Amino acid sequence: MKILFINPPYTHFEGLKESAGHMMPLSFGYLAAYARKQMDGIEFEILDAEALGFAYEEIRERISNYHPHVVAITTPTPAVKHVYKIARITKEIDKNIHVVLGGVHPSVMPERTLRECSAIDFIAVGEGEDTFYRLLAELISNSDYFEGIDGIWFSQNGKISRTKKKNLIKNLDSIPFPARDLYELGLYQSAPTKKVSEENATPILTSRGCPYNCIHCPSESIWHRTVRYRSASNVVQEIEECVGKYNLREFNFFDDTFTVNKKRVIDICEKIKEREMNIHWICFATTDAIDDELVQHMISAGCRKISFGLESGDQKILDLMRKRTTIDMGEKAVQTARRHGIPVHASFMLGNIGETEASIQKTINFATNLDLDNATFFITTPFPGTDLYDVGKKLGNITEDTPWENFAPLTNAPPILVQDNLTAGELVYWQKKAFRKFYLRPGYMLKKFRLLVSMGGIRVLFEGLRILLRILKKDR
């Protein structure tokens, strides 16, 4: 059986093109590795149409030439239109090819997804490794009995059916490391805001889930506010494999809350140092988890940047977002990291519930007064599977006719969540103003230029400037 994984194109058609970074779609590697462990006789191939910048005809050609039995597509909300197109192309090539979707969007909207595109056969809901393997096993046996596979929705003879909910895998160490041999590794580098070296990068997940309940995050819909951790030894073994087998030395720790368990992070760092690995990495961190001891351990183990989701400079907005953080915590976390010389990236969201021009101005002032290496300013997007999506529906911002491609954080489409205090045009104005205020400060530009020259990072500088100019030129 031949399986073709497809990462759908988005920036080729919409949004911010040539973002100067592509992150490996790690889910494919997990699905393939798990299935390989369970059974023989399966061949896998990955088509990363996003990283390659493929258009539909190029995708059609690859599907036709490979002629898979199964096409499995990851489905982020902004790319749904393109996923549907690829599913239809697949059925035009051969109606007997099975089309399987996974990812957050179809997991939280399985019935609607199947209704919107009749070319889709199956949806693997939530954590997909065991579900996908069992589906493949059933397809190999030519059985039409799918009711025994937990965690799927499927369309059969015009009828939409579902099976019972799939339990989460208890022991994450039991899952094989992602099959990175399937990827064209040269395609993947971090975007300038997340880049910590000039080498190819790979994401790595050391846990799954998040204990928090932010209004804008779909994590709860998938992980149900539970956090499962891989052991420190297991994590470091994967890093060793990446270095020794694939010569990958830049890592993006993609956990929602990598630093929540301080003892475990220190254990991972100690094991990295024991093995004398020459690696570089960035991680997402929560502001309440950072202290001097932890930062020192992280730096000594190769951490070269920390990314915080600071979101707003107005405490009222943070409380409405259910962030469980304070402005003071954000300031202290950034100060702690900078005190030890480690660069900091921060992301901010404009247009949250209760947002006003005054609260946005507070956010801009907050960002520019912090000692940040770089920052990203998103217009708040109410993704399916979040409480914010329900708010958008109640406000009338979201209807059945709202295009899914409008849900991209950086896009040419108009903002979705528009409230009484700010129009869509005003939100775009303030987003551009935030980027200008942060990046075009003379002192910041001079400091950044000197630093990057001394580090040989001129290319990173110009990549970042190119992206900034495209954001400022956007016309929504």
Segment 319-337, tens digit of pLDDT: 999 999 999 999 999 999 9
pLDDT attached to residue 452: 62
H-only helix segments in 224-311? 232-246, 262-274, 292-300
Q: Token pair for residue 394?
A: 């109640």
Question: Over the stretch 282-303, which tens digit does the pLDDT of each residue have?
Answer: 999 999 989 999 999 999 999 9
Q: Token pair for residue 338?
A: 């900078």
pLDDT attached to residue 333: 97
State whether residue 281 is helix, strand or coil: strand
Q: What is the mean pLDDT of residues 303-327?
A: 96
Percent of the chain whose pLDDT exceeds 90: 79
Q: What is the mean pLDDT of residues 261-273?
A: 97
Q: What is the mean pLDDT of residues 185-213?
A: 89
Checking if the pLDDT of 67 tops 80, the result is: yes
Q: What is the mean pLDDT of residues 89-107?
A: 97
* Residue 222: pLDDT band with limits 50, 70, 90: confident
DSSP tag of 176? P
* Residue 20: pLDDT band with limits 50, 70, 90: low
H-only helix segments in 356-473? 357-369, 387-395, 424-439, 442-455, 458-473
Question: Over the stretch 366-413, which tens digit does the pLDDT of each residue have?
Answer: 999 999 999 999 999 999 999 999 999 999 999 999 999 899 877 777
Checking if the pLDDT of 469 tops 70, the result is: no
Q: Which domains are delineated in the chain? A: 2-159 (3.40.50.280), 193-473 (3.80.30.20)
Gap between the Cα atoms of 389 and 401, Å rounded: 14
Checking if the pLDDT of 306 tops 70, the result is: yes
Question: Over the stretch 241-263, which tens digit does the pLDDT of each residue have?
Answer: 999 999 999 999 999 889 999 99
pLDDT attached to residue 474: 60
pLDDT attached to residue 220: 84
Checking if the pLDDT of 197 tops 90, the result is: no
Question: Over the stretch 137-157, which tens digit does the pLDDT of each residue have?
Answer: 999 998 878 999 999 999 988
pLDDT attached to residue 468: 62
pLDDT attached to residue 68: 98
* Residue 195: pLDDT band with limits 50, 70, 90: confident
Gap between the Cα atoms of 25 and 271, Å rounded: 26
Q: Token pair for residue 444?
A: 């910041």
Gap between the Cα atoms of 42 and 455, Å rounded: 46
Checking if the pLDDT of 70 tops 60, the result is: yes
Name the pTM for this structure.
0.92
pLDDT attached to residue 473: 64
DSSP track, 143-165: ----TTSTTEEEEETTEEEE-PP
DSSP track, 346-371: EEEEES-TT--HHHHHHHHHHHHHS-
CA distances from 61 to 47, 50, 54, 75, 140 (A): 11, 16, 10, 21, 25
